[in-house]
Structure 1
Amino acid sequence: MTFHPFHAPNASSLSLAVAAVLLLASAAPAVAQDAPAAGSGATTNLDSIVVTGSRLRRVDTESANPVVTVSQEQIAATGKATVGDLLQELPSIAGNSTNPNTNNGGGTGASTISLRGLGDKRTLVLVNGVRLAYNDVNAIPATMIERIEVLSDGASAIYGSDAIGGVVNFILRDRFEGVQFTADFGTSSEGDGNRRNFSLTGGKAWDRGSIVAGVSYHNLDAVSALNRDYSKDALYLSSGEAVKQGSSATPTGSINFNDGSAASDALAAANGCSRVTLNSGVSGATGPGDFHCYNAANDSYNYQPYNLLQTPQERSNAFALATFRFTDNIEGYVNTWFSKTESASVIAPIPIFANGDNFLVSADSYYNPFGVNFGTDRTTGVSYNDLNSRATVLGNRRYEYKTDNFQISPGLRGGFGSSSWQWDVNLNYGRVKQTSTNYGFLDYASFNQAVGPSFLDVDGTVKCGSAGNVIAGCTPLNIFNLNDASSLGTLQSMIVNPVVSSVYTVKQAEANANGDLFELPAGMVGLAVGVSYREEKSTSKADALWTGDENGLCGVIEFCASQLTGSFDVKEAYAEALFPLLKDLPGIQSLNVSIGTRFSDYSSVGSKTNSKLSIEYRPVQDLLLRGTVSEVFRAPNINELYSGVVGDAPTVNDPCNGYTGGNDVACANVPTDGSYHQADGQISGKASGAEVAGYQLKPETGKSYDVGFVYDPRWLEGLSISADWWRIDLEDTITGVSAQTVLNQCYSNPASAFCALIHRNGNGTINYVAEPTVNLGTLATRGVDFSVNYRLHETPWGRFTAGLNGTYLERYDVLPDTTDPSTVTIRNGGMYTYAYGNFPRWRGLGSLSWNKDDWSASWRVRYIGKTRIGSSDLDQGLSADTDEAGVVRRIGSFVYHNLQVGYTVAPWHTAFELGVDNVTNKQAPLYYANNGGNGNTDVATYDVLGRFYWARMSIKF
């Protein structure tokens, strides 16, 4: 496919772009220079430009790097509210990505990009070739973007660390005349999820310079999971049936007599079951007769109505882009922008797990009707019976985020006299500050005292402690009837709202030069060289109560926050050369080879050199054959290096369900009579950086391969066809080990190092699973990208453009631990897992656009292929069912249709657009709560709101 980058007066677009799939042609690529009319006798002088995915300037607009470009006009025509919404539709995007639909584990308003499903940490985001300080692409004001270039080929030799899956490069506007105001409104067919966008952009260009500046405002309303049928109930797939199971942390409590003591066994026998819950309508203190046997289908807690399908956000942006030519050979420039985002996530009222939260409900509590201990004694580590509850009287938990993002990149560029050589020197400073206030949590110390020993004093009041040893300032809590009105005041006195703040800064200086070296018979040899220095630093602080110790324990019931302070610097140097070897020979229109190498020296992990080799071969003018092999690497980031222990709530299927013996390491303390069953899909996890885990990280390394062709037939002008086979192999992958992987690998091999990460209570239930960040395994993925674009000639009915881009994923294999011969490879191709995300074999994006006079219209089609949950290979340890091993749930393919129509009122300099997304109102598929973390589905892949209407007006003065 022929992709023509937009002509820019200076192309410092260290851009990148990649093969396969950017918005699948919401429009055809723009041509850099118009060719002279046939027979006109005119000649065209093509300026050399920087080829995307390379530092070299050259005349060719097609190279060994497969590139897709989307213009500012094409972005606007999609009707997407943010850049993230647009990019996450690309067929080359897979796996787990964050977006405003990520509520549990999200809520910051951010959208991240995961090319090839390798994660946002392996996708490098640039702005005018300079690293973005914050990987939230929504922070980039859409009105300052000239075009987006996406490269899904490994580019570490050109751009350094992180460019494993590829690079997304935002090229900014450098020319704009006048003032433009735009207003955008949207709402779902259910009347919710409303969005409002306003922007004002102004610019002026003159002989020696230009300036473009603007402000924008974006507002998005929350949507409750209660408002959609597929998400309103917490549904589990259990024994082949969809069960409204929810959480065992219920307002009436889930009380389990399972610590193996004689007293507990006697209580189980007396009740006729080992698990009970409080009857409805009971007030005050309770007795054994106030409880009935727990039934998950009837008694579990439906938390879904309190969760969100779309998190609210309010974002303000400002930017300024300016250039000034000091002399004929020296130009100064500065790009700067600022964004302020206020966002939130909302989840159900705080769940309370006596064992998971490490507090002890005393057998000697006045309110304990059973006379046995529940929970864990944090001092001794001894665990007793399970007791789960939920403080619904306190209302929902809320996480409110405020994020300030500032970045500025000033520089100078110019030429060396009349030579071909050009240079560029620039600085880059970015600062991101995020503060989160977390509402609805409980003070641990007060809670632990309140559920400890208590007694009825002679004055008729219940007091903490024992007769003659009263604990001052403590009010006993009836945890067995937690939501009784008498408990409200006691609980409210324990409420804490911890605050966490973090500041990340990046400082960078870079110098580049490129030009011609000497001439070969086939053309000039080009060279690009450069050096850079970058320093990154991050600091986070949390309220003392919410700061976890080395065991992840802190002063708050539920999760703990992590303190983080760390920094590193990196010095780099690179060189890239292009050698035209042959041209204008029989069967060889042209043959070029380019080589590049980059040396990186990290203060944190040492030095690394990465190189690449690319070949471009044209047997005839219409056909380009290309191939690239690159070394890639990624150095650990600050969070991976220095994060402290922090709690999370991973979704897992415990392989010890129904355990009857055979692996007493993975299933320590689990009964062997087959009666054990995991109470909740979510468990407690404790993630940490490498330093806390006592582990020395090293960079992950690998190779990237790309082989393909571009065919632009002269016999059918306007048609472009391309296909690229790609492969990426990684070693020593840096990863926070998922809880499911830990459980599965230990169950497969009791001698596995993963087993030490599992912590079970005395009754066999999972207390928590440690999830440290380590270099551990390998990752191998490969597939094919393809595209067909056709721009028809002008017809009496207007001009039509059609496009189809797609990706076929052949494999995505993860070997979690290369040190253990028994470790099972997780084969993610065509499958969804909570740990890695969604990897359908096929993804596609198609479009048909039409323009005539003042009218325009477009039809965009997004295709998500079939996928499945679970594997029939029992060694994989993956099942879609909570009760049966090896169950596979198949999810059919999905097709989304989006329509847009526009009309321009030329005399008023005004344009109107109307659009409908998800025209057929396709609802998200059921993945079930035991497999997915949000809304019973995969919010990173599917549309969650249904049909959505939008309108936009733009006026230019």
Structure 2
Amino acid sequence: MRSAEVLLSSNPTHHRGASRSFAIPRTRRPLVQAIAVALPLVAACAAQAQEAPAADDATRTLDSVTVTGSRIRRVDTETANPVTTISREAIEATGKATLGDLIQELPAIAGNATNPNVNNGGGTGASAISLRGLGEKRTLVLVNGVRLAYNDVNSIPASMVERVEVLGDGASAVYGSDAIGGVVNFILRDRFEGVQASADYGQTTRGDGVRRNYSLTAGHAWDRASLVGGVSYHKIDEVSAAQRAFSRDALNLVNGEAVKQGSSATPYGTISFNDGSAEAAALADAAGCSRVTLDSATGAGPTSQGDYHCYDATADSYNYQPFNLIQTPQERTNAFVLGSYRVTDSVEAYASAYFTKTHSASVIAPVPIFAIGDNFLVSADSYYNPFGINFGADRATGTTYNTFNTRLVSLGNRKYEYNTYNLQTNAGLRGGFGDSSWQWDVNAGYGRVRQKSVNNGFLNYAAFNQAVGPSFLDSDGVVKCGTAGNVIAGCTPINIFNTNDPATVEALQAIVVNPVATSTYTVKQFEANANGDLFDLPAGTVNLAVGVSYRKESTSTRTDELAVADLEGLCGIIEFCTTVLTGSFSVKEAYAETLIPLLGDVPFVHSLNLSIGTRFSDYDSVGSTTNSKLAVEWRPIENLLLRGTVSEVFRAPNISELYAGIGGDAASAIDPCNGYTGGNDVACANVPTDGSYQQADPQVSARTSGALVAGYDGLKPETGKSYDFGVVYDPLWAEGLSLSADVWRINLVDTIATVSAQTVLNQCYANSASAFCPLIHRNDNGTIYYIGEPTVNLGQLWTKGVDFGANYRLPETAWGRFTASLNGTYVARYDINPDPSDPGTVVIHNAGKYTYSYGNFPRIRALATLNWSQGPWSAGWRVRYVGHTSIGSTDARQNLSADSAVPAVERAIGAYTYHSLQGGYDFSDWHTRVDVGVDNLGDKQPPLYYNNNANNGNTDVTTYDVLGRYLWARVTVTF
């Protein structure tokens, strides 16, 4: 077997690739029955097919290992499982600041994975992995084969990682729930001699985005024991959206042109006379328009209608972008320790633990006020109301009045600060059974994640509602809340029509609250595993791996009393509400996996192996399920491998999907009722039918919730089947070359999803009898009050594609050693049917497209590297390719137009290629190595997706580089 020291695969026998399913059976029994029938038949056939090799054919013994995707120990690491291995040397050569930065560049990553560039809806410092674009919940992350407690790979200390194995195949039969898109397994350094210190520094060529990394690792190995430990510190500075041309303005695509158009919640206030009353109609006639804004906000504020002019979104809307971030700040401290001790000659004790503290934040513009959406009433009887009509909503009666939006810039930006504490431990015993081949392992693990968020710049709802209610000028010359003879004590009236007035600012600051929320998650897990040889067949030895496990997950959330949400997601704090909940579930599992050598060393069959596995899982929350797999490895000749796997996959509801409370969401969505003239009075309830209705803002209020809070107690696992077919060829005519291709396909049913606001609107508009329609809540004037986004089993998902790879370790020359690699993924299909029970449902086609709800799926992604080394010198060139994609759709039923004013517009986004260079020199006499590098050499800026399509910085921050050219340097000293 050959090896090549390439960037993404230090061993080219590990290849990405997975093939996904063609159909999804409703029952789990057919594959299980097929396995039961196949076992005795294949054993009998193999025994009759050939004679056992002579004993002297076995000239040497190789160490057996387990590779991610199987529990079987074996000599071959090139198996039916398509695995990519990223070595420690490859990790260091990229110069990446975090493991998340590294993994998210893999071509198999797509969709909407979280990373520190996500500001609006992010800020925790986390990076998640979304293999096949199936989402982070369908990618299983392991550390030394044990489930990661916190699905943030940045929390894993990079200095403790020996290598990363990425399985691009469904593996529920091996690992249980979540392993649908694949598995990412971080293998830790179990042995290290000496002390190693490292420091690196980086920044953009614009002088921002500074990062600092420091790490110290020490270890020693004795005859019967080993110990490795270390600490690290990591800090990244924030980068403001105002510092880049593409992100400094809120841009919308309107009638084919990029228009600076932000929020209708402006510092001067935006008012619509639209409640249908005669008074509102008269005001609109007097103004010459139905929507007005204040000329200025100086002096005593507006005293009459003459102080307002007709609202122009281009000229008057609020540009919130300069206050946002395109890189959120994070500061992370890690400590880890790993050790082992050989208790006897056949029993070894081992343990590992690491702790990570992360301080991070996100910053967004000052709190906006949407009187109707936030459900408060600006009274017609307010002393400061120059119009004499009501604005907003009367929560007590459910009546909505005229629209009033404003923004409290005098209170400063909203800031979400997170402190996340992550502890993960694992300890166990492993050994063998005498002189037999059987080995066993018993281990227990504990993980605890505590996240505290302090949220700055919000308002006490009750106090604010009183302050903008009825008020009057009392006989003592002081304006007071309430009415004459019924003054509200402790209340200061607020002139919401002039939020910059000093008295108003003082009154607002007096009711500012900074709510604190704390969530705690714990997982306790236990495993007992054994594997070894069963019996010999003429082609080899039958291996078996078996095991049992138990896992319990618990969660709890607490928050300030004012922030506790009611059933509509409303609470005592404007713009920040959550639910106090606790919950837990447990699962018991048992698995078995066998490897059966069928044929070997016969014509056209150098080797033929069959792997069979099954896993039984029993959840106290959603019941039991059995999932199995069949895998075949056929080598017609020694250097050609044909492989295929069919696997049943599943994902049980995770703890947040079961127990998450009601939360607010500012979702991007285009209302299909814009310009409504009739036809669907369910989806467009209360919307005028004269064609005049236009959505005021591309962001709508939404309420997310877990299944139980939404009243949906029937949440069950999502299920499916994956097929994988591949070929690996190591040609004899090109020593060091390895080629691979894998076709993958996945189908899922009963997918668990938080339904997006856009999906709710689209499906109900397409079919007024849709189950989505009750989730739409409109005001009396037809504007959207809020949209429910519950977590439910509902849809189907189909995706398929091809992985391809080439790795070449060239013969050594007088000019040094060269290695090259190319790895890529082609996505042929990614379709989602949000509601298969509805014949009128609109299937969403994502392949080759970007959508806000599902993320980005370029047809082709690729990563190529060229590395060189000679003596103490080394250099590398890395090329990342993101293929063509598009925003919007020409299918009007999908309501995904790229243009906010024109329906059914699709806009092409060109391909992007990023180049990075790295070089290093090893000063061996000083035990010191110096590396320098530049990322995004061409300083490419990301494409414009526009604010009406994307929610962060006018672009897709999860796919493209947003910082530009980045320089870094690192010094490593080893003692």
TM-score range, shorter chain: over 0.9
In structure 2, what residue type is equivalent to 1:56?
I
Question: Residue deviations 1:54-73, cap 9 Å, x none?
Answer: 00011112110011101111
Which of 634, 645, 670 lines up with 1:617 in the alignment? 634
Does the CA contact (< 8 Å) of 2:5 and 2:819 recur in 1? no
In structure 2, what residue type is equivalent to 1:846?
A
Coordinate RMSD, CA, aligned? 1.5
| 2:345 corresponding residue in structure 1 | 328
Question: Residue deviations 1:719-766, cap 9 Å, x none?
Answer: 000000000100000000000000000110111111100011111111
Which of 241, 246, 251 lines up with 1:225 in the alignment? 241
Does the CA contact (< 8 Å) of 1:659 and 1:675 recur in 2? yes
The whole-number CA distance in structure 2 between the counterparts of 1:651 and 1:634 is 28
Question: Residue deviations 1:682-710, cap 9 Å, x none?
Answer: 11110000001111200000001100100
The whole-number CA distance in structure 1 between the counterparts of 2:255 and 2:686 is 25
Does the CA contact (< 8 Å) of 1:515 and 1:528 recur in 2? yes
The whole-number CA distance in structure 1 between the counterparts of 2:157 and 2:436 is 37
Following superposition, the deviation at residue 715 of structure 1 comes to 2.0
Which of 863, 883, 886 lines up with 1:868 in the alignment? 886
Distance 1:812 1:133, change over 3 A: same
Instruction: Report matched runs for 1:606-755 at 5 Å.
Output: 606-695=623-712, 696-755=714-773
In structure 2, what residue type is equivalent to 1:650?
A
In structure 2, what residue type is equivalent to 1:900?
Q
Following superposition, the deviation at residue 603 of structure 1 comes to 0.5
Following superposition, the deviation at residue 47 of structure 1 comes to 1.1
Following superposition, the deviation at residue 484 of structure 1 comes to 2.0
Instruction: Report matched runs for 1:509-520 at 5 Å.
Output: 509-520=526-537
The whole-number CA distance in structure 1 between the counterparts of 2:456 and 2:396 is 28
In structure 2, what residue type is equivalent to 1:117?
G
Whether 2:404 is the aligned partner of 1:387: answer yes
Which of 446, 455, 474 lines up with 1:457 in the alignment? 474
Whether 2:818 is the aligned partner of 1:786: answer no
The whole-number CA distance in structure 2 between the counterparts of 1:617 and 1:784 is 20
Whether 2:313 is the aligned partner of 1:296: answer yes
| 1:900 corresponding residue in structure 2 | 918
The whole-number CA distance in structure 1 between the counterparts of 2:627 and 2:662 is 33
| 1:106 corresponding residue in structure 2 | 122
Instruction: Report matched runs for 1:327-726 at 5 Å.
Output: 327-695=344-712, 696-726=714-744
Which of 931, 941, 952 lines up with 1:923 in the alignment? 941
Question: Residue deviations 1:101-160, cap 9 Å, x none?
Answer: 000000000000000000000000000000000000000000000000000100000000
In structure 2, what residue type is equivalent to 1:550?
L
Does the CA contact (< 8 Å) of 2:16 and 2:803 recur in 1? no
Does the CA contact (< 8 Å) of 2:235 and 2:331 recur in 1? yes
Following superposition, the deviation at residue 486 of structure 1 comes to 2.2
| 2:97 corresponding residue in structure 1 | 81
Following superposition, the deviation at residue 290 of structure 1 comes to 0.7
The whole-number CA distance in structure 1 between the counterparts of 2:283 and 2:688 is 17
The whole-number CA distance in structure 1 between the counterparts of 2:60 and 2:386 is 92
Q: State the secondary structure of the residue aligned to 1:907.
A: helix
The whole-number CA distance in structure 1 between the counterparts of 2:4 and 2:430 is 24
Does the CA contact (< 8 Å) of 1:455 and 1:463 recur in 2? yes
Whether 2:325 is the aligned partner of 1:308: answer yes
The whole-number CA distance in structure 2 between the counterparts of 1:429 and 1:314 is 24
The whole-number CA distance in structure 1 between the counterparts of 2:476 and 2:687 is 45
| 1:197 corresponding residue in structure 2 | 213
Following superposition, the deviation at residue 328 of structure 1 comes to 1.0
Q: State the secondary structure of the residue aligned to 2:700.
A: coil
Q: Structure 1: which 5+ runs fail to align?
A: 7-14, 22-40
Whether 2:793 is the aligned partner of 1:775: answer yes
| 1:150 corresponding residue in structure 2 | 166
In structure 1, what residue type is equivalent to 2:205?
S
Does the CA contact (< 8 Å) of 1:2 and 1:711 recur in 2? no
Question: Residue deviations 1:456-503, cap 9 Å, x none?
Answer: 111111111111111111111111111222211000011000000011
Distance 1:63 1:814, change over 3 A: same
Question: Residue deviations 1:787-817, cap 9 Å, x none?
Answer: 0000011100000000000000000000001
Does the CA contact (< 8 Å) of 2:17 and 2:726 recur in 1? no
Following superposition, the deviation at residue 562 of structure 1 comes to 2.4
**Count of residues in correspondence between the two structures:** 930
Worse-superposed segment, 49-58 or 263-272: 49-58
TM-score scaled to structure 1, two decimals? 0.96
Question: Residue deviations 1:352-410, cap 9 Å, x none?
Answer: 00000000111111111111111011111111111000000000000000000001100
Following superposition, the deviation at residue 42 of structure 1 comes to 13
Whether 2:17 is the aligned partner of 1:19: answer yes
Q: Structure 2: which 5+ runs fail to align?
A: 7-12, 20-56
The whole-number CA distance in structure 1 between the counterparts of 2:703 and 2:658 is 16
The whole-number CA distance in structure 1 between the counterparts of 2:301 and 2:658 is 50
Whether 2:845 is the aligned partner of 1:827: answer yes
The whole-number CA distance in structure 1 between the counterparts of 2:866 and 2:58 is 34
Following superposition, the deviation at residue 281 of structure 1 comes to 4.7
Does the CA contact (< 8 Å) of 1:538 and 1:567 recur in 2? yes
Instruction: Report matched runs for 1:834-853 at 5 Å.
Output: 834-853=852-871
Which of 244, 249, 255 lines up with 2:265 in the alignment? 249
Does the CA contact (< 8 Å) of 1:186 and 1:196 recur in 2? yes
The whole-number CA distance in structure 2 between the counterparts of 1:623 and 1:285 is 80
Does the CA contact (< 8 Å) of 1:829 and 1:840 recur in 2? yes
Does the CA contact (< 8 Å) of 1:16 and 1:167 recur in 2? no
In structure 2, what residue type is equivalent to 1:522?
A
In structure 2, what residue type is equivalent to 1:782?
K
Does the CA contact (< 8 Å) of 1:17 and 1:169 recur in 2? no
| 1:944 corresponding residue in structure 2 | 962
Distance 1:16 1:121, change over 3 A: farther
Q: State the secondary structure of the residue aligned to 2:497.
A: helix
The whole-number CA distance in structure 2 between the counterparts of 1:565 and 1:935 is 35
Does the CA contact (< 8 Å) of 1:16 and 1:54 recur in 2? no
The whole-number CA distance in structure 2 between the counterparts of 1:417 and 1:16 is 32
Distance 1:415 1:16, change over 3 A: farther
Does the CA contact (< 8 Å) of 1:3 and 1:62 recur in 2? no
| 1:810 corresponding residue in structure 2 | 828
Following superposition, the deviation at residue 16 of structure 1 comes to 10
Question: Residue deviations 1:630-666, cap 9 Å, x none?
Answer: 0000000111001111111110111111111111111
Distance 1:694 1:281, change over 3 A: closer
Does the CA contact (< 8 Å) of 1:18 and 1:152 recur in 2? yes
Q: State the secondary structure of the residue aligned to 2:110.
A: coil
Does the CA contact (< 8 Å) of 2:68 and 2:185 recur in 1? no
The whole-number CA distance in structure 1 between the counterparts of 2:605 and 2:68 is 24
Does the CA contact (< 8 Å) of 1:20 and 1:806 recur in 2? no
The whole-number CA distance in structure 1 between the counterparts of 2:3 and 2:113 is 27
Which of 40, 43, 64 lines up with 2:80 in the alignment? 64
Following superposition, the deviation at residue 419 of structure 1 comes to 0.2
The whole-number CA distance in structure 2 between the counterparts of 1:956 and 1:505 is 37
In structure 1, what residue type is equivalent to 2:270?
S
Question: Residue deviations 1:222-262, cap 9 Å, x none?
Answer: 00000000000000111111111100000000100011111
In structure 2, what residue type is equivalent to 1:807?
T
Does the CA contact (< 8 Å) of 2:18 and 2:725 recur in 1? no
